[in-house]
Amino acid sequence: MNAPAVDLAVALGPLRLANPILTASGTFGYGLEFAHLADLAALGGIVSKGLSVAPIRGNPPPRVCETRGGMLNSIGLQNIGIERFLAEVLPGLERFPPRVIVNLFGVSVDEYVRLAERVDAVSGVAALELNVSCPNVHSGGLEFGQDPEVLCALVRAVRAATGKPIVVKLSPNVTRPAEIGEAAKVGGADILSAINTLLGMAIDPVTRRPRLATVKGGLSGPAIKPVALRVVFDVARQVGLPVIGIGGIETVDDVLEFLLAGASAVQVGTALFRDPTTASRLVGELAARLAADGVGSVRELVGAVRLPA
């Protein structure tokens, strides 16, 4: 049987992808670890684990636990640092077609700027995704993504440091995510991604101890999908930047929901822990589904939710 004649290509501002399925930061290692299990070539993009100026060892265990319909994690942004990533991982990833997006974080504006400057001239990096759910040491530990003015200044500084497309990853742990997205837009962001994990906790009733060593952690997986969908819907309509939807995506129906809500692409995260082939399989399943439904281009679905009159 011939491949269905469906156009899966998407353009998110300056970022062009062969298809709208990416892997989410921190849930697919650095990508290469899964080359023998998943069809990396099928993916539209791979988002790196969060990278910092210097390597980070992360939090003590236990740092993941299952919850009903999801999981909690407090990995603590463990990573090998930007230099090792560029020297040891990126050359391997560049052999595959998916666009590589580096997920970056810091504890000060200066650290984000240094990371952006470092990757600016690196041809294998297609875009930067800023994880702004990190405490800012100069704001008494408040996260960058929780204050519109702080976020706007951060994005503006990163904008001045790089010509590459900037994705700002929104946190759901704020009252009005669209307001934060608007601030990112004013600062010069090209794309928004939503959502990062929701702050949560779990307790073992037998030992009476928190299930995570850090007590609280980030909730992800199917349990957060309705929240993610609502944030994507609001942000896409109110901010007007292209949006990448993230949160609990496992099936082709999930992908369709996010596209209809206004996302131009999606990232698959926690589902990869159960089956690392989920994201690459979804590419073929999406093409087959659109062909079966007589939809010629994935772009026709973006924001096409039918709202009550």
Among 136, 197, 278, 280, the residue binding ligand FMN under the rule CB under 6 A is 197
For ligand FMN, which is the closer residue by CB, 7 or 78?
Answer: 78
- Closest contact distance (angstroms) between CB of 291 and ligand FMN is 25
Per-residue b or e along 213-229, where b marks 16 or more CB atoms closer than 10 Å to that residue's CB? ebeebbbbbbbbbebbb
Dihedral Cα 229, 231, 235, 237, nearest 10 deg: 50
23 binds ligand FMN (CB under 6 A): no
Among 32, 43, 49, 116, the residue binding ligand FMN under the rule CB under 6 A is 49
For ligand FMN, which is the closer residue by CB, 169 or 185?
Answer: 169
3-state secondary structure of 262: coil
For ligand FMN, which is the closer residue by CB, 31 or 248?
Answer: 248
Residue 153: count of CB within 10 angstroms of its CB: 15
Residue 124 burial by Cβ neighbours in a 10 Å radius (0-12, 13-18, 19+): middle
In contact, 268 and 282? CB cutoff 8 Å: yes
Output the CA angle 33-36-40, nearest 5 degrees: 80
# residues contacting ligand FMN (CB under 6 A): 24
Going by C-alpha positions, the residue among 124, 98, 121 that lies closest to residue 265 is 98
Among 146, 196, 264, 278, the residue binding ligand FMN under the rule CB under 6 A is 196
For ligand FMN, which is the closer residue by CB, 6 or 70?
Answer: 70
For ligand FMN, which is the closer residue by CB, 6 or 15?
Answer: 15
Dist CA 217 CA 88 (whole Å): 30
In contact, 280 and 39? CB cutoff 8 Å: yes
Is 152 among the residues known to form the active site? no
Q: Interaction with ligand FMN in 266-295: which residues (CB under 6 A)?
A: 268-270
Among 77, 152, 263, 290, the residue binding ligand FMN under the rule CB under 6 A is 77
Options 100, 116, 128, 134, the catalytic residue: 134
181 binds ligand FMN (CB under 6 A): no
Q: Which residues does the annotation mark as catalytic?
A: 134
Residues that bind ligand FMN (CB under 6 A): 24-27, 49-50, 73, 75, 77, 103, 131, 169, 196-197, 220-221, 224, 246-249, 268-270
